[in-house]
């Protein structure tokens, strides 16, 4: 299905693919993503990473299998990573547009941690609940 669209006034949801369910997606976020998100503090800023040195992940990174993940993936845009040479489209729970939208929720909230103590994982789970339905 790809990107969310409006069909006769009804918002259509992203559908899970590759054997994933909404509940499995939420469970994976709770397992792999720290409550504050996967960010690395730098001198004057912070940046999101697919994996931290401790093995924790951002939202998109949580769905990259350990046997596929490579440090060289860091810094690559989510869309390019999914559609690139790693075959991630075959393991992701949503089509590219859905993963990009979900990752945006991570980035938007994780990088604001110092301002307000947001539980990034719960924000992601809320987004999944509202915007995703189990595929067929």
The CA–CA distances, whole Å, from 63 to 25, 32, 72, 114 equal: 8, 9, 17, 26
Asked, for residue 17, whether it belongs to a domain, the answer is yes
Q: Based on the structure, what is the number of domains in the chain?
A: 1
Asked, for residue 1, whether it belongs to a domain, the answer is no
Asked, for residue 123, whether it belongs to a domain, the answer is yes
Task: Please state the rounded mean pLDDT for residues 14-19.
Answer: 96
Asked, for residue 77, whether it belongs to a domain, the answer is yes
The region of weakest confidence among 20-34, 45-59, 91-105, 110-124 is: 110-124
Q: Kindly report the pTM of this predicted structure.
A: 0.83
- For strands 6-7 and 10-11, give the pairing: antiparallel
Per the structure, the complete domain to which residue 74 belongs is given by: 6-133
The per-residue pLDDT for range 57-99, each reduced to its tens digit, is: 999 999 999 999 999 999 899 999 999 999 999 999 999 999 9
The region of weakest confidence among 14-23, 83-92, 118-127 is: 118-127
Asked, for residue 49, whether it belongs to a domain, the answer is yes
The two tokens of residue 47 are: 């940046």
């Amino acid at each position: 299905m790809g990107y969310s669209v409006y069909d006769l006034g009804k918002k259509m949801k992203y559908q899970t693919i590759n054997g994933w369910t909404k509940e499995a997606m939420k469970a994976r976020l709770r397992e792999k993503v720290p409550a504050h998100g996967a960010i690395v503090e730098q001198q004057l800023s912070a940046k999101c990473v697919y994996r931290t040195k401790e093995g924790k992940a951002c939202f998109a990174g949580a769905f990259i299998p350990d046997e596929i993940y490579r440090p060289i993936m860091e810094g690559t845009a989510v869309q390019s990573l999914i559609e690139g040479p790693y075959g991630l489209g075959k393991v992701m729970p949503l089509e590219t547009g859905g993963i990009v939208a979900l990752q945006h929720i991570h980035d938007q909230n994780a990088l604001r941690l110092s301002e307000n103590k947001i539980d990034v994982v719960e924000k992601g789970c809320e987004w999944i609940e509202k915007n995703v339905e189990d595929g067929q």
